[in-house]
Amino acid sequence: MPALTILSSPQRQRSALDGVLSTDGAPGADWQVRWVEDPADLPAALRGADALLLWDFTSHALQGALGGADRLRWIHSASAGVDQLPYSEVRGRGITVTNARGIFDRPIAEYVAGCLLDFAKDTHRSARLQAARVWRHRLTEDLAGTRALIVGTGAIGRQIARTLGALGVEVAGAGTRARGGDPDFGDVVDSAQLAAHVGAFDWLINAAPLTPATTGLIDAAVFASMRPTARLVTIGRGPTVITDDLVTALRDGQIAGAALDVVDPEPLPEDHPLWALPTAVLTPHMSGDTHGWERRLAQQFAANLERFEAGRPLENTIDLDKGYAAS
């Protein structure tokens, strides 16, 4: 009997997957399913397992846990990012890795659009004035006609580009290679040369995956090159931004604001200076989490499990040399 190991946390995740896999004729119906809540139990649960679902995608429990994984052929991560995986060991064992690409694209793009609108329409100041019972008329900004540089040209970055384009924002991309004529971005600049390009934009949208090349990508040099009226929105991974450099840029007025759904460290300590900065907006890594996402993810996994059972190619396969799925 094939075996599936699932590293999970909240009960609602288990309920969502049970609801999909327990129906008659569903893929995985004849599998032995091993639920793991304590990461310390993962090594034992991987012995004899054919597949692993990392529903607790923030966990680094897989580091050092593959020693007994004698049959493991497939790992599925319940997120777009797969930076928690021990790449060299996974690659050496010939394990296929897939991710949840497509589940979070639209919700995250809506979140980014909301951030831009909140900044442009001064919504946060309106909330503070309301709390103080102050009626103060003022002018706000047009969003249409502004320019956004989107770092990360994968599925999420592309959905952001299409969503902002519908609002009249002129978009460009930043990726691993410069090119023109992209169907969603038009021009794509080399993200390694980010500081040379950000000065032409009103918005810097960070949707980059976490790889060795993107760790610390947005740093003091990038902030110093941005317009003082520009804002940062980051929804990818916290370590792609050097947090101390961001704090300095906000305090010194190098940039006008930042909306941060991911930070480094995460969660942010209570005494961290970002909490007190009036031009920083913080949300707790929730930009892609809308009602029903667990069931959508379970359905996506079940569809790939059916392919796995049939010996067909899996969808959303990760290039382990690059650290992300090809767009």
CA angle 320, 178, 147 (to 5 degrees): 110
Tell me the C-alpha distance between 78 and 101, whole Å. Answer: 9
CB proximity list for 246: less than 8 A, separation 6 or greater: 218, 223, 232, 258, 274
Is residue 206 within 8 Å of 261, Cβ to Cβ?
no
Is residue 264 within 8 Å of 239, Cβ to Cβ?
yes
Is residue 204 within 8 Å of 151, Cβ to Cβ?
yes
Tell me the C-alpha distance between 107 and 159, whole Å. Answer: 9
Angle between helices 105-120 and 123-131 (to 10 degrees): 60
Alpha helices (runs of H) in the chain, residue ranges in sequence order:
11-21, 42-46, 87-92, 105-120, 123-131, 155-166, 220-225, 243-251, 293-310
**Three-state DSSP state, 152:** coil
* Tokens matching residue 173: 């991309």
Residues 14, 18, 20, 22: what is their CA dihedral angle, to the nearest 10 degrees? 170
Q: What amino acid positions are annotated as catalytic residues?
A: 237, 266, 285
Is residue 214 within 8 Å of 160, Cβ to Cβ?
no
Q: Beta partners for 149? A: 172, 204
